[in-house]
C-alpha cells in the first residue's frame, strides 16, 4: 500500500515559477487601454503596478526565479501536502485513484498566499508601502493582509458587501493583520458613489470593488494595487502548486490522467494545471485538464471570448477573455471566490485552443460532494474548492462506469472553516441552485465594449 500523504522536504520546494507563455501555441491578444483602445504599454500600468510585476506580465521566459525572501515565507506552509483520498475512493467504490493537493494548510487558508507574498515583496522592493485591493469571499483580502503585514506595508481592502455581511470572520482576520476593510460599494470613491446612487441596496460585486481599489491606487503615488487572480503574473506565482504536485506524483510512482481545479479568475487552476499543460504541449503527455466553475457564473462554459473590462466602471485595461459581461451581477452564491464575470486570458486562450476543458456544477451538488469529502477525508473544504471535489467525484464515477483505473488529481484550494454558515444552510435544506437564465446572459453580453 502506498502512502496516504506524500511530502516534499523544504529543499525540494521549487526555486522557479513556470511561465506558460513560453510554450503556448497562441498567446492571448494584448490588453488594450480602456480609453484609447490601443495595446497598453508598461508606462500605462506603472501607475498601479511595480515594474517587476509588469515584466512578469509580458515575459516569455520559461522559468522565473523565486526570490529568497519569498521562498523564506513560502516555507511557513510549503511544500504543501499531496494526499491520496483512499477513503473517498472506497466510498465511491471506484477503480480510479484520487489524489489531492492541499493548499488550505497555508496560514491564509487558501492558495492565494502563494501570489500575495511575491506581489507585496516586489512592490516593497520598488519603494511602495501601501496596497489597495478588492476581495469577494475575503480569501484574497486575508492573504494580501498577511503578506503586507510580513513586509511592514499598509493594506486597504474593498470587500464585496454581501460577503462583508455574510463572512464577518474573514473581515476580522484582515483586521488582525492590520488592514483597513471597507464594504464595497462605499461612498469613499467616485465609482462606489455612482453605484450607490443607482442602487443604495447594491450587494456589490468584484467588478465594483476592483473599480474602487484601482481608483484609489491610481490617485496616490505611495499606493499600488494588487489583484488576486486573472492577470498573467498571478497565474505564474501559483505554478508552485503544480510543480510540487508533479514531484509528489513522481514520488508516489504515478502520473495523472485527469487534473482538476475550480475556476473563478483562474489562478488555482493555472497553478495546478499549467505545469501539466507543459507536459502535454512539450512532451506529448495525454493528460486532461478540467476547470470546474459554478453554473450560476459560467464564464468558461457559456461566456463569450471577447475584449472586456475587468471591472464595472471601465477603469481597467480591456482583456481578451471569456466573459459574461462586466455588468453581469452574479447571484449571491456561497462560493464568493467564483463570482467573477471574466477569466484569466491565459486560461481562456488555452480553452479556446482546445488544450484544456471546462465544466459547470450546481451549488447543491458541490455541497453534497463537500460533505462526502469531509466525512471521508476529514477536511471541511471551501465551497469554491468543492467544485473540484464534485468534478473529481464525477470523473471517478465515470471511471467506474467505464471499468477503467484512471488516476485523478485535483487541487483543494482552501479549507471551509469560515464558510460554516453556508454548510448550515445546505444541511437545513435551504440552499437553491441558480442556473443562469439565457435572457440574463444575452442581455449582459449586449453591452460588451465595441473594439
Ligand atoms: C479565490 C478562491 C478561488 C477562486 O479563485 P481562482 O483565481 O480561480 O483560483 C478558489 N478557491 C479558493 C479557496 C479561493 O479562495
229 lines ligand 1 (CB under 6 A): yes
Closest residue CA from atom 5 of ligand 1:
264
Closest residue CA from atom 10 of ligand 1:
384
CATH topology for 47-66+112-232?
A: Rossmann fold (3.40.50)
Angstrom distance (rounded) from CA 303 to CA 360: 12
Q: Which residue has the cell 467544485?
A: 387
Residue 1 pLDDT exceeds 60: no
Per-residue pLDDT tens over the stretch 391-448: 999 999 999 999 999 999 999 999 999 999 999 999 999 999 988 889 989 988 998 9
Angstrom distance (rounded) from CA 186 to CA 441: 27
Spatial strand order of the sheet with 130-135 comes to 180-184, 154-160, 130-135, 223-225
267 lines ligand 1 (CB under 6 A): yes
User: Is pTM, for the whole model, over 0.95?
Assistant: yes
pLDDT recorded at residue 2:
58
139 lines ligand 1 (CB under 6 A): yes
Report yes or no: 229 and 344 within 8 Å, Cβ to Cβ: yes
pLDDT recorded at residue 338:
87
252 Cβ contact list (under 8 Å, min separation 6):
2, 3, 6, 82, 84, 99
387 lines ligand 1 (CB under 6 A): no
Residue 47 carries which DSSP code? T
Closest to 98 in 3D by CA, of 2, 184, 22: 2
Per-residue pLDDT tens over the stretch 103-112: 999 999 999 9
Nearest-atom index, ligand 1, CA of 268: 9
338 lines ligand 1 (CB under 6 A): yes
385 lines ligand 1 (CB under 6 A): yes
Closest residue CA from atom 14 of ligand 1:
337
Closest residue CA from atom 15 of ligand 1:
139
114 lines ligand 1 (CB under 6 A): no
Question: What distance, in Å, lies between the first and last C-alpha atoms of the chain?
Answer: 58
In three state form, how does the secondary structure of 314-325 look? CCCCEEEEEECC
Closest residue CA from atom 2 of ligand 1:
337
Nearest-atom index, ligand 1, CA of 266: 8
383 lines ligand 1 (CB under 6 A): no
For residue 313 the three cell numbers come to 466602471
Per-residue pLDDT tens over the stretch 60-103: 999 999 999 999 999 999 999 999 999 999 999 999 999 999 99
Q: Tell which one of 134, 228, 338 to mutate to probe ligand 1, the residue whose CB is within 8 A of the most ligand atoms.
A: 338
Nearest-atom index, ligand 1, CA of 109: 13
262 lines ligand 1 (CB under 6 A): yes
pLDDT recorded at residue 251:
96
CATH topology for 5-10+78-109+237-445?
A: Rossmann fold (3.40.50)
Domain boundaries, the chain: 5-10+78-109+237-445, 47-66+112-232
Amino acid at each position: 500500500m502506498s502512502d496516504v500523504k506524500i511530502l516534499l522536504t523544504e529543499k525540494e520546494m521549487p526555486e522557479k515559477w513556470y511561465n506558460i507563455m513560453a510554450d503556448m501555441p497562441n498567446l492571448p491578444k494584448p490588453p488594450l487601454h480602456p480609453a484609447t483602445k490601443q495595446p497598453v504599454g508598461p508606462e500605462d500600468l506603472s501607475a498601479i503596478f511595480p515594474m517587476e510585476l509588469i515584466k512578469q506580465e509580458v515575459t516569455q521566459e520559461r522559468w522565473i526565479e523565486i526570490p529568497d525572501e519569498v521562498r523564506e515565507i513560502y516555507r511557513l506552509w510549503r511544500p504543501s501536502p499531496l494526499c491520496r483520498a483512499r477513503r473517498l475512493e472506497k466510498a465511491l467504490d471506484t477503480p480510479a485513484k484520487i489524489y489531492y493537493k492541499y493548499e488550505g494548510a497555508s496560514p491564509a487558508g487558501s492558495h492565494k498566499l502563494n501570489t500575495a507574498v511575491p506581489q507585496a515583496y516586489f512592490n516593497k522592493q520598488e519603494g511602495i508601502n501601501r496596497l489597495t485591493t478588492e476581495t469577494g469571499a475575503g480569501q484574497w483580502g486575508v492573504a494580501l493582509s498577511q503578506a503586507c503585514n510580513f513586509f511592514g506595508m499598509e493594506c486597504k481592502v474593498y470587500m464585496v458587501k454581501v460577503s462583508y455581511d455574510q463572512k464577518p470572520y474573514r473581515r476580522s482576520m484582515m483586521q488582525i493583520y492590520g488592514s483597513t476593510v471597507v464594504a464595497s460599494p462605499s461612498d469613499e470613491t467616485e465609482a462606489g458613489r455612482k453605484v450607490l446612487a443607482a442602487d443604495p441596496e447594491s450587494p456589490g460585486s468584484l467588478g465594483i470593488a476592483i473599480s474602487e481599489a484601482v481608483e484609489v491606487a491610481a490617485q496616490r503615488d505611495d499606493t499600488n494595487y494588487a489583484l488576486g487572480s486573472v492577470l498573467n503574473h498571478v497565474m505564474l506565482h501559483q505554478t508552485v502548486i503544480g510543480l510540487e504536485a508533479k514531484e509528489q506524483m513522481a514520488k508516489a510512482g504515478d502520473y495523472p490522467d485527469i487534473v482538476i481545479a475550480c475556476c473563478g479568475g483562474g489562478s488555482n487552476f493555472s497553478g495546478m494545471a499549467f505545469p501539466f499543460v507543459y507536459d502535454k504541449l512539450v512532451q506529448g503527455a495525454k493528460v486532461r485538464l478540467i476547470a470546474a466553475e459554478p453554473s450560476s457564473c459560467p464564464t468558461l462554459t457559456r461566456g463569450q471570448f471577447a475584449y472586456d473590462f475587468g471591472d464595472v466602471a471601465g477603469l481597467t485595461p480591456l482583456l481578451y477573455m471569456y466573459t459574461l459581461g462586466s455588468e453581469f451581477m452574479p447571484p449571491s452564491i456561497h462560493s464568493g471566490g467564483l463570482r467573477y464575470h471574466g477569466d484569466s486570458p491565459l486560461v481562456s486562450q488555452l480553452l479556446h485552443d482546445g488544450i484544456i476543458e471546462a465544466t459547470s456544477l450546481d451549488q447543491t451538488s458541490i455541497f453534497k460532494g463537500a460533505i462526502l469529502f469531509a466525512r471521508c477525508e476529514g477536511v471541511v473544504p471551501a465551497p469554491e474548492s468543492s467544485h473540484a471535489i464534485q468534478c473529481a467525484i464525477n470523473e471517478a464515477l465515470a471511471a467506474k462506469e467505464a471499468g477503467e483505473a484512471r488516476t485523478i488529481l485535483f487541487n483543494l484550494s482552501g479549507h471551509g472553516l469560515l464558510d460554516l454558515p453556508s454548510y448550515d444552510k445546505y444541511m437545513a435544506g435551504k440552499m437553491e441552485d441558480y442556473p443562469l437564465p439565457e435572457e440574463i446572459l444575452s442581455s449582459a453580453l449586449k453591452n460588451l465594449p465595441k473594439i
